[in-house]
Amino acid sequence: MRFPLSLVAIAIAATSVFAARTAAVGQAPPVTCNFQGVVCNFLPSGAPDPDCPKLPTSYPIANGGVTNGPGYYNNGTPCGWNVKTKKACGANLGLDTCNAESTGPGNGWPCDLDPDYPTCLGGGGGNPCGGSPSGDCSDGASPPVLATPAAAAATRLDGMALLTLPPGAENTLKALGSLRSVHVVANAAVTMRDPTTAQVPRVQSAAEYEYWEAGRAYRIRNTLDPKVGLVDIPEWAFDGRFHQMLLGSAAANSALSVHRGDERSTTVPLENPLFLALAYLSPEDADSCPGCELRLADLAYLVRLRATVAESSGRGSAMAATNDAALVVAGGRSYGEGHPATSHRLTLDASGRVVSIKQVDAAGQLLRQIDLADFRLAEGLGVELPRTVTLSKSNAGEGAPWLVIKYEIGTLEINTPIPASTYNLMSQPRVHKIWDSDLGAYVKHERVPGDAVCPKSVSPK
């Protein structure tokens, strides 16, 4: 139940899976979000919508479904995320069904079936397994274990080994890539409108974004109001063994989905403002690695990779100057039809700092723009980093952007110890339900007022 890396594969697989249930042209399909296949929506033709894959979790099954059958969201929320807009997608289902097709585990608590499941904090609170999904109960700093990116991300990063960067950008990459840990806190002002309907008024909201990373572990937190319309996933974490995703900011509709191994297709509504300064190096690619947000581990990998490449090997051929004196870096592939290639145009100021990054399609139409300002020397790092970062997203050919996020970075801590417990979301008080996607069962299920998460597959006590 992982999110496939290739949208082409999604379309092919989905077409074969759902061919027998395809609706006639012009007719709404009989079901959308309750299919627990690879997509959550269908086009007017009845074909699966490749832009609306399911969330990378088995949480829909926790709400009462089975892998290959109907699986309803009991709170009526959409089941997928749009790869173009990062908004939720898929049809809303009713609040009155909990789908009786779910079977749940056959015997006892999952802990009894899996000797590797965590037991370090004991039971209590309705959680038979208890504690950290990594089994590490210490408050010490995570060891600086360097990570190698997943294959799809590594392939994109490998292509940047020969890339010649402006000196300022090269220094920033080397500085950030040398860090053992980073902790970022930023305020965000979000303005957006529905990109598919120009007449819908804009929505404004304030949010906080926080990011921790050390070694192979990371955690992302945001306080974005779900009414804005982006995916409602307030927290993610990977502790080196377990990926944890908290779906839903309201306790009554919230559950933590856990599975072993990292998940690069994280559906982040707010991106890391610190790494947006190096967005042209991102491994995100519509063909091979959708949703692959840049991480500190990627930068460390890229720095090590580039260090092995001699200047005489051809570095520099991947960047060229345009008529407006901006530098062009080959990008990934857009989420437009056919996934055409994109590129990034970098604008430098008089000091050689990158102050603007424009991602454009093959026709030169703007897709997104990142403006960097308020550069300050980072203590202990020796380079100036932007503290104000503005991200704008546009539809090709349109004037005004449909999404603008202005970040103000307030906290930037580097190479400071981060307790291992930081990456453990299972023991957070706000987490009342934990769904193990690998075991296909809840390992924690506490009742809360207004509970709307289907209690199917809860193991007997």
Q: Which residue range(s) make up the domain with 101?
A: 1-131+438-461
Asked if residue 225 is part of any domain, the answer here is yes
Q: Does residue 166 sit in the same domain as residue 123?
A: no
Q: Does residue 36 sit in the same domain as residue 98?
A: yes
Q: What is the pLDDT of residue 190?
A: 96
CA 266 to chain CA centroid, nearest Å: 2
Asked if residue 429 is part of any domain, the answer here is no
DSSP one-letter string for 409-438: EEEEEES---BGGGG--TT-TT--EEEETT
Q: Does residue 313 sit in the same domain as residue 389?
A: yes
Distance, in Å, from the CA atom of 268 to the CA atom of 271, rounded to the nearest integer, reads 6
Asked if residue 249 is part of any domain, the answer here is no
DSSP one-letter string for 261-321: B--SB---SS--HHHHTTGGG---BTTTBTTB---HHHHHHHHHHHHTS-GGG-TTTTEEE
Q: What is the pLDDT of residues 31-87, one digit of tens each?
A: 333 333 456 777 778 777 777 777 766 565 555 544 434 444 555 556 677 877 777
DSSP one-letter string for 337-381: TT--EEEEEEEE-TTS-EEEEEEE-TT--EEEEEEEEEEEEPTTT
Q: What's the total number of domains in the chain?
A: 2
* Mean pLDDT of all residues in 352-373: 93
Q: Does residue 390 sit in the same domain as residue 450?
A: no
Q: Does residue 450 sit in the same domain as residue 312?
A: no
Asked if residue 327 is part of any domain, the answer here is yes
Asked if residue 242 is part of any domain, the answer here is no
CA distances from 331 to 12, 297, 358 (A): 25, 20, 10
CA 67 to chain CA centroid, nearest Å: 23
Q: Does residue 163 sit in the same domain as residue 280?
A: yes
Q: Does residue 191 sit in the same domain as residue 119?
A: no
Q: Does residue 109 sit in the same domain as residue 175?
A: no
Q: What is the pLDDT of residues 43-52, one digit of tens each?
A: 778 777 777 7
Q: Does residue 411 sit in the same domain as residue 444?
A: no
Q: Does residue 122 sit in the same domain as residue 84?
A: yes
Distance, in Å, from the CA atom of 216 to the CA atom of 145, rounded to the nearest integer, reads 6
Is residue 437 within 8 Å of residue 259, measured between CB atoms? Answer: yes
Token readout for 140 is: 């010490």
* Mean pLDDT of all residues in 86-101: 53
Q: What is the pLDDT of residue 198?
A: 60
pTM over 0.75: yes
Q: What is the pLDDT of residues 208-263, one digit of tens each?
A: 999 999 988 999 999 999 888 788 889 999 998 999 999 888 887 788 989 898 88
**Residue type at position 407:** Y
Q: Does residue 59 sit in the same domain as residue 120?
A: yes
Q: What is the pLDDT of residues 112-149, one digit of tens each?
A: 333 333 332 232 222 333 333 333 333 333 333 445 67
Q: What is the pLDDT of residues 272-309, one digit of tens each?
A: 999 999 999 988 887 777 778 899 999 999 998 888 87
Asked if residue 65 is part of any domain, the answer here is yes
Q: Does residue 156 sit in the same domain as residue 117?
A: no
Asked if residue 239 is part of any domain, the answer here is no
Q: What is the pLDDT of residues 149-172, one digit of tens each?
A: 777 788 888 888 888 889 999 999
Q: Which of 289-293, 320-324, 405-409 has the highest mean pLDDT?
A: 405-409
Asked if residue 426 is part of any domain, the answer here is no
